[in-house]
Amino acid sequence: MSAHDISTAEVIDLGGAHDEIGMEAALDIARAGLTRGELPIGAVVVADGRIVGRAHTEEVTQRRLLVHAELLALEEADRADGWDRRRATLYTTLEPCLMCLGAAATAMVGRIVWALKSDSDGAGRLATEWSDGRSADLPHPHLPAVTGPVAEDAARDLFRAYVDARGDSCDPFVRWAATIIGEPPEPMSTPPDPASDPTPSR
């Protein structure tokens, strides 16, 4: 997918009120994923006033686990030319996991802004702890600045729609999504087979 412009008059320094604009783009991608049966997690990479990467999670579509929205959006952005990585922002509708935080650091993205907190596997706090005790003289990846929430209610509504549309407490994706919105599912009468249907990490 090619990069899609956002008006540079609306997105300039990617800070403050402009974060709502970037997050709305991520929410649009999450909505598209939801209509395809995916968890409603969307991510966009915005740099120099334009989107250089966008994706929703694709665990269902690809039947794989290493296809988080942030990872796919960063991969698309990494293939694009001519964008200022350190001034770029990754907008994601869910607090990123450790894998995606590491991928953002490797891609040298300057900021991450998330909408909905993930108590189970969110790694945002690590961004403030990563450099503690490390010598400034050592070359090591510098984690992006991580902030949130932005547009929390809209992201929560998407997760609630995902859970309400299924209502199968034996589905590990549904059970995990329910915890994200603070509604733990009812106990399962028959535990799922972990070999055939692993509980998602996000």
CA-derived radius of gyration, the chain: 17
Cα–Cα distance for residue pair 93/113, rounded to 1 Å: 8
Distances (CA, A) of 43 to 52, 70, 109: 11, 5, 13
194: left (phi over 0), alpha (psi -120 to 50) or beta: alpha
Cα–Cα distance for residue pair 22/17, rounded to 1 Å: 10
**Is-contact 49 73, C-beta < 8 A?**
no
70 is catalytic: yes
The two tokens of residue 6 are 């956002």
Name beta bridge partners: 4. 51
Q: Which of 38, 70, 76, 95 is catalytic?
A: 70
Amino acid at 186: E
Site of tokens 């994601």: 92
Cα–Cα distance for residue pair 104/61, rounded to 1 Å: 23
What residues are annotated to the active site?
A: 70
